[in-house]
């Protein structure tokens, strides 16, 4: 026995704690430990590869969002990390006896800053069912309007009534600030769309089993229902929260650098985020706020951002109109000063990116009506002078037509 050596590392029985033998093969305890570590690492790699199917890391999620949403860098980082953590939680709701709680998200920002687009873009990358609900249409039980369970019905419908798939989907509740408790300011009657709706949303936000009508509303006694578990449903709530804080504090709390994580050396006061007490003062109940731990704030888009929104995203408005004109055999071009004029008009209206389409549609309508009937038009150039009505639109005709004339 004193002559035994490990066939893997060559160490003798005197150099290690123990050597295990099987017929003519020998292995020491150290090599067994090394092999065990290698096997464990390979197993983790396989689990991660399996887990990563359909789920990207935060940096890749943000890169995807960059293709659709201009600006809002810190908000995109917050959402990317929150989404990644949420789907790790679905895979491992309990890890090493630690229960990982759900982290729903609240998006706070002015209208047209990209709240809804961020939520839709997230659902697209995850390839999961996605539903949008408007909080202004919700009422508490017993009153005319939509009930909170109708939100889950929409998610179920978007999953083609596949209950397992729907239970891992994403729900975006817009205008969440409109269900703030208004009872104190109301002159009479109950606030049926305020605190009562917040109370109704608590259970589905936290995660629980709810009977959901397959079609219609729970107010219909004949509606067929199904038991829906919201434990793994990610809720993203969005709202403008106009007047959340005073003017001075508003500037401070909506300062671009304040979103995301504090860096060492940053002025904590200047980086101050929206706090729970601000939301409570606005009219949200503490229980509701407690179920939405992740808050991401979006800034108003600058004129430069609005110009980028017009031309950079994959589904940019300019690209859509260029495709429409190309189907008619014409090129469509916008001069830089024209894009700036459109962005300035949207900025003056105070509706952010949401107002861009309406402005462009108004500009393009007469052209879309007249140009298909014009022969030989090769390109149409939109300039600032045309937008302001100083000149007609610039048209470039095919060379063959010019020679024939």
Binding-site residue positions: 6, 9, 28, 31
State the helix-helix crossing angle for 356-370 and 317-327, rounded to 10 degrees. Answer: 10
**By C-alpha distance, which of 357, 288, 353, 315 is closest to 115?**
353
Which residues are annotated as part of the binding site for Zn(2+)? 6, 9, 28, 31
Distance CA 85, CA 178 (A): 29
Strands 98-99, 170-174: pairing is unpaired
Place of tokens 């302001």: 388
Per 3-state DSSP, the chain is made up of helix, strand and coil in percentages (nearest 5) of 45, 15, 40
* Range 391-395, long-range pairs (CB < 8 A, 24+ positions): 393/367
**By C-alpha distance, which of 80, 79, 127, 132 is closest to 296?**
79
Distance CA 349, CA 121 (A): 26
Paired tokens of 97? 């006896």
Strands 394-397, 377-382: pairing is antiparallel
For the chain, give the number of residues. Answer: 405
């Amino acid at each position: 026995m004193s002559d035994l050596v490990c066939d893997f590392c060559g160490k003798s029985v005197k150099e290690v704690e123990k050597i295990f033998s099987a017929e003519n093969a020998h292995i020491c305890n150290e090599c067994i430990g090394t092999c065990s570590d290698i096997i464990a690492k390979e197993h983790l790699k396989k689990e991660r590869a399996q887990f990563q199917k359909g789920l990207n890391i935060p940096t890749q999620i943000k890169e995807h969002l960059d293709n659709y949403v201009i600006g809002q860098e810190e908000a995109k980082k917050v959402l990317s990390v929150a989404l990644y953590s949420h789907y790790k939680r679905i895979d491992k709701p309990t890890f090493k006896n630690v229960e990982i709680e759900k982290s729903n998200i609240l998006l706070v920002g002015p209208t047209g800053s990209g709240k809804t687009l961020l939520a839709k873009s997230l659902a697209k990358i995850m390839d999961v069912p996605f539903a949008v609900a408007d909080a202004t249409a919700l009422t508490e039980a017993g009153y005319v309007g939509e009930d909170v369970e109708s939100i889950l019905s929409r998610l179920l419908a978007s999953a083609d009534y596949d209950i397992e798939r729907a239970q891992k989907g994403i729900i975006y509740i817009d205008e969440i600030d409109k269900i703030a408790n208004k009872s104190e300011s109301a002159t009479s009657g109950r606030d049926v769309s305020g605190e009562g709706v917040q109370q109704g949303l608590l259970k589905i936000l936290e995660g629980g089993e709810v009977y959901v009508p397959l079609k219609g509303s729970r107010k219909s006694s004949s509606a067929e229902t199904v038991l829906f578990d919201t434990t793994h449903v990610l809720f993203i709530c969005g709202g403008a929260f106009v007047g959340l804080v005073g003017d001075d504090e508003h500037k401070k709390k909506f300062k671009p650098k304040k979103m995301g994580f504090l860096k060492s050396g940053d002025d904590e006061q200047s980086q101050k985020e929206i706090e729970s007490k601000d939301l409570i003062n606005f009219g949200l109940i503490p229980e509701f706020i407690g179920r939405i731990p992740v808050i991401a704030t979006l800034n108003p888009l600058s004129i430069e951002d609005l110009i980028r929104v017009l031309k950079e995203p994959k589904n940019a408005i300019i690209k859509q109109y260029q495709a429409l004109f190309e189907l008619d055999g014409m090129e469509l071009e916008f001069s830089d000063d024209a894009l700036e004029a459109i962005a300035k008009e949207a900025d003056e209206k105070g509706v952010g990116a949401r107002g861009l389409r309406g402005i462009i549609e108004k500009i393009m309508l007469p052209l879309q009506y007249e140009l298909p009937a014009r022969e030989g038009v090769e390109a149409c150039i939109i300039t600032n002078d045309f937008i302001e009505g100083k000149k007609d639109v610039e048209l470039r005709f095919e060379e063959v037509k010019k020679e024939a004339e």
